[in-house]
Amino acid sequence: MSDYVVRVLEEDEKHAAQTVFRGSLHHPPSTDEEWEHAADGYPARRSFGAFRSGRIVGSAQSFGSAMVVPGGKVLPLAAVSRVGVRADHTRRGVLTELMSAQLRQLRELDEPLAALHATESVIYGRFGYGVATRGRTVEAESTRGRTLPPMPSSGEIRLLEPDEMMTVLPGLYERIGLRRPGMMARPESWWRMVVQRRLSLKEHLTVAVHSGPDGDDGFVAYQTSVTPPSEDRTLTVQDLHGTSLGVVLDLWRFLLGVDLVRSVSAWLRPLDEPVELIVPNRGECRTTALGEETWLRLVDVPAALAARSYGDADPVVVEVHDRFLPENAGSYRVGPEGVERTDARADLELPVDALAMLYLGDVSASVLATTGRLTAHDPDALLRADRLFTTGAPPWSGTFF
């Protein structure tokens, strides 16, 4: 790395950073119009570049958000994105230096959590990230014109005009709230990058809003595509949220009844969303894929552990290893009454990436031990840890960035 310099990007270097990032994904450079919207993804002071001989060859950035953790507390979150290294500079430690610089900055910003979506799963575990939420891809046949299982319905559906989307959706998402561990806040820049960009580029996006007795309480954004030569239409869900499971299933019923559509597909939906139970035959709703959703990094381990709630079990002592942020390393007594550092002998020992898998409740301590990601010095502590870290529902984010 002696030939490379990693530093915060100047404003006039960000477009070149976007070109490097897109190139790392085998995409062409952004057009001027595309860059106008992509620029929101490079916040001031949070965008890093790796330089060699004055030319940018790698990038990484983040934007500020927040995530809800078990128990309902909302913690500051760094949403990490646009990470890439030019193909002729990989395997030289460039990415390691970029991620190290970013993690040090996040500590200074007092953001105890960081999250990202990984293009390649093999990359981020070595930097302390672990898969903390997962989702399933659901495909269901259209139900239009057929008798459906009875289900309480408590609202009406209306379609938004394009010029209403940016005024209605941000406030509605905020009203829906962060309802399960792993969900994250969406700053204004997210809405500009995701929704306003599509509208400005004339992409066809349909948004339906669900309204109940107390007003708007859910929404779904979707697109339709045609598969030649049959001309069958597939409706693809881009974003779907509601204040309750009933609202979400009402929106699903609407989607399944849209005319001239053969099937509905939704990517990375919650693992426990029971779409199968609202179609005439369960076999017409299939899980076609299970996938990782959010990779989580505990930037400040003691703060993150202290923020979440725990189940009813005797405390366990957990020893954590963190190569990139050694100040996190050490042992913590975790129990229903709270978390504290301790010099006591560890019951369980694990690296910080495995702790991220455990933290939101996606994977149990027993499973981590069975797969070799956690060492149990006291086997009886595994059952206690399982009860301590359990959550009522699988964690899920529902926001792509």
User: Cβ neighbours of residue 284 under 8 Å, at least 6 residues apart?
Assistant: 140, 141, 143
pLDDT at site 324: 98
Q: Please state the CATH superfamily assignment of the domain spanning residues 300-389 in this structure.
A: SCP2 sterol-binding domain (3.30.1050.10)
C-alpha span between 82 and 59 (Å, rounded): 7
Q: How many CB atoms lie within 10 A of CB 44?
A: 10
Q: Quick one: tokens of 186? A: 């969406």
Contact yes or no for 228/113 (Cβ under 8 A)? no
C-alpha span between 183 and 240 (Å, rounded): 13
Annotated binding site for acetyl-CoA: 83-85, 91-96, 119-120
- Answer positive or negative: Cα dihedral of 110, 270, 131, 362: positive
The CATH number that domain 135-176+209-289 falls under is 3.40.630.30
pLDDT at site 201: 82
Distance set, CA 322 to CA 167, 242, 298, 325, 329 (Å): 43, 37, 10, 6, 5
C-alpha span between 374 and 351 (Å, rounded): 8
pLDDT at site 1: 65
C-alpha span between 333 and 96 (Å, rounded): 31
Q: How many CB atoms lie within 10 A of CB 142?
A: 22
C-alpha span between 114 and 104 (Å, rounded): 12
C-alpha span between 180 and 70 (Å, rounded): 8
Ramachandran bin of 188, using left for φ above 0, alpha for ψ from -120 to 50, beta for the remaining angles: alpha
Run of H or E residues at 131: strand 130-141
The burial of 70, by beta-carbon neighbours within 10 Å (0-12 exposed, 13-18 middle, 19 or more buried), is given as buried
> Hey, where are the domains in the chain?
4-128, 135-176+209-289, 300-389
Nearest to 302 by CA among 345, 336, 338: 338
Enumerate the H helices of 221-333 as residue ranges.
Answer: 245-256, 301-307
Task: Say how many residues make up the chain.
Answer: 401
Annotated binding site: 83-85, 91-96, 119-120
Contact yes or no for 275/237 (Cβ under 8 A)? no
Overall pTM surpassing 0.75 (yes/no)? yes
Nearest to 352 by CA among 340, 366, 368, 339: 368
Active-site positions read 124, 401
Q: What is the pLDDT along the chain (401 residues), one digit of tens a residue?
A: 679 999 999 999 999 999 999 999 999 999 988 898 889 889 999 999 999 999 999 999 999 999 999 999 999 999 999 999 999 999 999 999 999 999 999 999 999 999 999 999 999 999 999 999 999 999 999 987 777 777 777 799 999 999 999 999 999 999 999 999 999 999 999 999 999 998 888 889 999 999 999 999 999 999 999 877 777 899 999 999 999 999 999 999 999 999 999 999 999 999 999 999 999 999 999 999 999 999 999 999 999 999 999 999 999 999 999 999 999 999 999 999 999 999 999 999 999 999 999 999 999 999 999 999 999 999 999 999 999 999 989 999 999 99
Contact yes or no for 350/370 (Cβ under 8 A)? no
Q: Please state the CATH superfamily assignment of the domain spanning residues 4-128 in this structure.
A: Gcn5-related N-acetyltransferase (GNAT) (3.40.630.30)
CA 104 to mean position of chain CA atoms: 22
Let me know if the fold of 4-128 is the same as that of 300-389: no
Q: Partners of 334 in the beta sheet?
A: 316, 339
pLDDT at site 143: 87
